[in-house]
Amino acid sequence: MMLLMPNLAWSIWSTLWKLNVTFPAGSGNIEEIVLRWIHIVAGILWIGFLSFFILAGMPMLKSLDPAIRAKVFPEMASRGLWWLRWSAMVTWLAGFRYFMILAKADAASAGRPHAWIGWIGIWFGCWLAAFAIEMALIRAGNGALGNKFVTGALVLFVMTATSWLVVSLLAQPGVGNRTLSIAIGGGLGTILFFNIWGIAWRCQKRLIAWTRASVEQGTPMPPEAVKLGYMATLTMQISFWLTFPMLFFMAASAHFPFLSGG
């Protein structure tokens, strides 16, 4: 056994020594791999914390005695939401920059080097409109709609329609599967990014402050706390389920070429 160890180490070293390692030339390749790495690492944190809140955090809080829940919720939510929202920010910024690179490359291949600016504008405008509709549905979910499953189904319809619209508008000559798949996956990621910063965090930071005040000062929770809690929870749940189609289209950009321009 002792004789085999030096031989094994020498064999591994010889194999590594013979490897032909060649890094791609050009700053563009370096930027792309750095963006991908940042996007993936930050995305793991983002989806990980979102999954924790939905699958473990919220059920655990519901099981606690109200007095204990009031003490646990502000600490868990403030710490967890810090990681959630800032990892979302980093993920989105890195992904958006990478999407710009792909759009510019497709525009150059199509012989229209400046067309990517219009494509990005169309893409962002469509998903911003989808978020506005989603926000209106979530706000109404505690009133007119009254059922979170109905609200969720309507949001799913809006996201499906927006995905179809975006691909229809961007599927032009020269636009490849990578750009079109990320137009959907990145669009859903943009919705998730807006959800955490535009709805969930805006509701939760007020709930955290009110809960702390109720514990430390005995201040009663305002009547609107119920509505804000409902909106924050529903937004997080919708975001969780949207991660599945988002991840499919992000993976399909490189591993399942099924979309192409006209």
Position 240 scores a pLDDT of 97
Position 111 scores a pLDDT of 85
Domain ranges, ordered by start, for the chain:
32-255
Position 47 scores a pLDDT of 97
Res 180 pLDDT > 90: yes
Position 218 scores a pLDDT of 85
Res 7 pLDDT > 70: no
Res 10 pLDDT > 70: no
What's the whole-number average pLDDT of the chain? 89
Of the chain, the percentage scoring pLDDT greater than 90 comes to: 71
pTM of structure: 0.90
Q: What would the pLDDT profile of 74-84 be if each residue is shown by its tens digit?
A: 999 999 999 99
Can you tell me whether residue 85 is helix, strand or coil?
helix
Position 26 scores a pLDDT of 61
Res 3 pLDDT > 60: no
User: 9-20 b/e with 16+ CB inside 10 Å = b?
Assistant: eeeeeeeeeeee
Report the distance separating Cα 213 and Cα 189, nearest Å: 34
Position 29 scores a pLDDT of 82
Position 175 scores a pLDDT of 84
Position 146 scores a pLDDT of 72
Q: Are 170 and 108 in contact (CB under 8 A)?
A: no
Query: 82-89: long-range contacts at Cβ-Cβ below 8 A with a sequence spacing of 24 or more?
Result: 83/45, 83/49, 84/46, 84/49, 84/50, 84/53, 84/196, 85/196, 85/197, 85/201, 87/42, 87/43, 87/45, 87/46, 87/49, 88/42, 88/46, 88/192, 88/193, 88/196, 88/197, 89/193, 89/197
Position 257 scores a pLDDT of 87
Position 100 scores a pLDDT of 95
Res 187 pLDDT > 80: yes
> From the centroid of its chain, how far is CA 94?
12
Q: What would the pLDDT profile of 122-167 be if each residue is shown by its tens digit?
A: 999 999 999 999 999 999 876 656 788 899 999 999 999 999 999 9
Position 123 scores a pLDDT of 97
Q: Higher model confidence: residue 142 or residue 178?
A: 178
Position 226 scores a pLDDT of 92
Q: Higher model confidence: residue 173 or residue 123?
A: 123
Report the pLDDT averaged over residues 11-32. 68
